[in-house]
Amino acid sequence: MTRRFNLYHFASPATFYPLAGALIPWFAAASVLFGLAGLYLGMLVAPTDFQQGEGYRIIFIHVPASWMSMFIYLVMAFWAAIGLAFNTRLSGMMTQALAPTGALMAFLSLWTGALWGKPMWGTWWVWDARLTSELILLFLYIGYMALVAAIDDPRRADKAGGLLLLVGVVNVPIIYFSVKWWNTLHQGSSVNLTKSSMAETMLWGMLLMAMCFWMYAIAVAFARVRTIMLERERHTDWVKAILAGGEK
């Protein structure tokens, strides 16, 4: 009998729990390595910008955080759709585990943006399209977490939260374009896959930092999903066995 690798095998909390536990150190190590390489390139190798001086280096945190805040929302919406369509338990746990990291990234992006804006534009905050839509994205994360926290029954929380995420993901482009037409003075996007206006080292530094944030997000989400599993499945035998036998 040939044993084929079956992805669905890990759709159950009992099998995913040890897998996540085994993967966390790898993702954490990858995050640290990417982070060290990215910071080295960004802080030491990348040339000083002739207009913005050294202050621009906050871009190596700011841009990856913004990317991740949007990406994590999409990933959550993806898991929400899977959860609603196939009624899987793990999807809802995954979306809940991702939400705080996504909100953190949105907050980091706004915070570093303000720190960057003060020396460059002379103001902490401007009501332009990208800042405003990032702020609204943070509101969407907070709305999701508030809704999930208010529902006691975890199954209902998963489904209601998932539906809210899907409604949100349909609305995100509408919100983005409405805010964009409303007001635009943010500088144009300077990262472009075909032709980039940045020095190559800067681009590499940013991509490495984005990988670092990505791996960090996965590691943290796995750690969080493990605790969610233990909490929700506390009445099952496998959780009791784990808790009785100590860690692992």
Residues of this chain that bind other proteins (CB under 8 A): 136, 139-140, 142-143, 146-147, 150-151, 155-156, 159-160, 163-164, 166-168, 170-171, 174-175, 178-179, 181-182
Shortest approach of other proteins to residue 89 CB, angstroms? Answer: 15
In the complex with other proteins, the residue whose CB is nearer, 40 or 177, is 177
In the complex with other proteins, the residue whose CB is nearer, 19 or 167, is 167
For 82, the token pair is 């899977």
In the complex with other proteins, the residue whose CB is nearer, 115 or 142, is 142
- Structural contact between residues 196 and 203, judged by C-beta atoms closer than 8 angstroms: yes
187-194 long-range contacts, CB within 8 A, separation 24+: 191/63
199: phi then psi, degrees, rounded to nearest 5: -65, 150
Shortest approach of other proteins to residue 219 CB, angstroms? Answer: 29
Shortest approach of other proteins to residue 87 CB, angstroms? Answer: 12
Alpha helix stretches (DSSP H) within 40-88 = 59-86
In the complex with other proteins, the residue whose CB is nearer, 36 or 149, is 149
- What is the 8-class DSSP label of residue 7? G
Q: Is 86 exposed, middle or buried (0-12, 13-18, 19+ CB in 10 A)?
A: exposed
